[in-house]
């Protein structure tokens, strides 16, 4: 669909484009209807009018979902930015949490859901009862794609080099411990680099890779390690560690409860790895989205408070069990950027 020079866009054309944009963004007739405050039959009728007006199927069924045709993908690429600009000019993303009805989709790890979702839900119940929060798996490798395709509103993850069309806001840098079962031969305060490298390792890999930053550091010392097991959820770590001879480098907040309850052993990793920031990431088209800003503000406060509190608890327990480690300056300066 193209408006030729000199032609005037009819109101019905713009209406169809607004519906089209909502369906493309939500990838669902039902969710698009909710977004537009329309009935589902009304959106379905609009899609039927698109097919007639644009002489293309526009959307095709794919199980319970729908997929855009090549025509639809090309059209969206041409119109989504102008539509955002037009929408912002008319309504600069006004947001009242008390009355808003909206769904936010956030790409996160299971550990973020564990430490942030309960507090966030309490805030929503008291301040924003019409807000829904849906967690989408965070996989590292597709961060930019899910933001570009509007599959999520926000990503919470590692903030490496990103394109200029995305925005980032720092939240925290995680502290990492080396954990193992109680009475493990390596459950000691003077774990050497060679012993660490020779052990069987459990790797939390969100990308599916079987090597990570720790391996790069070991290579600088002429060492390698065996990745005996990988998982893609931090919640799987404690049980695996408790029932095996595996060791693992994980963020303190993933194992604080187990450390406090003294069901696993922990020490500082004998590798010096620079910390990597955990940040919010979003698309620049949502810079003026007051609802997203409201969500980021609450999540940042929750995450900083929880991470600081949990890390402090874990360090206190670690120091009680390993006083020599806490007299080592590395205990405060050593951070590992990510599990993989």
Tell me the per-residue pLDDT of 126-141, one tens digit each, with 9 for 90 and over.
999 999 999 999 987 7
Are 32 and 112 members of one domain?
no
Which residue is listed with tokens 């990103």?
162
59 bridge partner residues: 68
Which CATH number do you get for residue 66?
1.10.10.10
Are 195 and 219 members of one domain?
yes
Are 172 and 247 members of one domain?
yes
Domain termination residue (choose one: 90, 105, 128)? 90
Q: Determine, yes or no, domain membership for 5.
A: no
How buried is 184 (Cβ within 10 angstroms: 0-12 exposed, 13-18 middle, 19+ buried)?
A: middle
Q: Determine, yes or no, domain membership for 4.
A: no
Q: Determine, yes or no, domain membership for 340.
A: yes
Are 108 and 44 members of one domain?
no
Are 110 and 227 members of one domain?
yes
pTM: 0.72
Are 314 and 335 members of one domain?
yes
pLDDT at residue 3 in the model: 44
Are 210 and 280 members of one domain?
yes
Structural contact between residues 156 and 117, judged by C-beta atoms closer than 8 angstroms: no
Strand 154-158 with 102-108, pairing: parallel
Q: Determine, yes or no, domain membership for 3.
A: no
Q: Determine, yes or no, domain membership for 1.
A: no
Q: How far apart are CA 340 and CA 157, in angstroms?
A: 13
Which CATH number do you get for residue 327?
3.40.190.290
Q: Determine, yes or no, domain membership for 170.
A: yes
* Structural domain span for residue 69: 11-90
The domain total for the chain is: 2
Domain termination residue (choose one: 35, 58, 90)? 90
Are 184 and 123 members of one domain?
yes
Are 122 and 222 members of one domain?
yes
Are 86 and 109 members of one domain?
no
pLDDT at residue 80 in the model: 80
Q: Which residues of the chain have pLDDT under 50?
A: 2-9, 11, 329-340
Q: Determine, yes or no, domain membership for 62.
A: yes
* Residue 117 to residues 10, 111, 228, 237, Cα–Cα distance (Å): 45, 10, 32, 20
Q: How far apart are CA 309 and CA 307, in angstroms?
A: 5
Pick from 337, 191, 215, 205: which is nearest to 269 by CA? 191
Are 82 and 112 members of one domain?
no
Q: Which long-range contacts (CB under 8 A, 24 or more apart) does 233-237 make?
A: 233/109, 233/110, 233/204, 234/109, 234/110, 234/111, 234/114, 234/204, 234/339, 235/110, 235/111, 235/114, 236/204, 237/179, 237/202, 237/204
157 bridge partner residues: 279
Structural contact between residues 178 and 248, judged by C-beta atoms closer than 8 angstroms: yes
Are 42 and 126 members of one domain?
no
pLDDT at residue 153 in the model: 92
């Amino acid at each position: 669909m193209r408006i030729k020079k000199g032609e005037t866009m009819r109101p019905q054309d713009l209406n169809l484009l607004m519906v089209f944009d909502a369906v493309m963004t939500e990838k669902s007739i039902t969710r698009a209807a909710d977004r537009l405050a329309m009935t589902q039959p009304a959106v379905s009728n609009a899609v039927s009018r698109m097919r007639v007006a644009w002489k293309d199927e526009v959307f095709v069924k794919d199980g319970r979902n729908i997929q855009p045709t090549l025509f639809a993908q090309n059209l969206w690429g041409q119109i989504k930015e102008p539509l955002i600009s037009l929408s912002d000019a008319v309504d600069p993303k006004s947001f009242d949490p008390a009355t808003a009805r909206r769904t936010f989709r956030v790409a996160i790890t299971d550990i973020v859901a564990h430490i942030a979702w309960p507090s966030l839900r309490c805030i929503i119940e008291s301040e924003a009862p019409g807000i829904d929060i849906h967690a989408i798996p965070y996989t590292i490798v597709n961060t930019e794609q899910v933001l570009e395709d509007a599959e999520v509103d926000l990503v919470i993850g590692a903030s490496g080099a990103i394109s200029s069309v995305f925005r980032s806001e720092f939240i925290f840098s995680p502290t990492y411990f080396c954990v193992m079962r109680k009475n493990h031969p390596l459950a000691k305060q003077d774990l050497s680099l060679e012993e660490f490298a020779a052990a069987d390792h459990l790797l939390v890999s969100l990308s599916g890779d079987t090597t990570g930053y720790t391996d790069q550091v070991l290579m600088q010392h002429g060492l390698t390690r065996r990745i005996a097991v990988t998982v893609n959820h931090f919640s799987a770590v404690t049980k695996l560690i408790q029932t095996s001879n595996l060791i693992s480098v994980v963020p303190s907040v993933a194992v604080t409860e187990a450390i406090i309850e003294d069901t696993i052993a922990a020490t500082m990793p004998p590798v010096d790895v620079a910390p990597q920031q955990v940040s919010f990431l979003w698309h620049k088209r949502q810079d003026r989205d007051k609802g997203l800003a409201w969500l980021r503000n609450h999540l940042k406060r929750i995450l900083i408070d929880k991470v600081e509190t949990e890390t402090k608890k874990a360090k206190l327990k670690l120091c009680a069990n390993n006083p020599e480690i806490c007299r080592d300056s590395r205990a405060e300066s050593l951070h590992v950027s990510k599990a993989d």
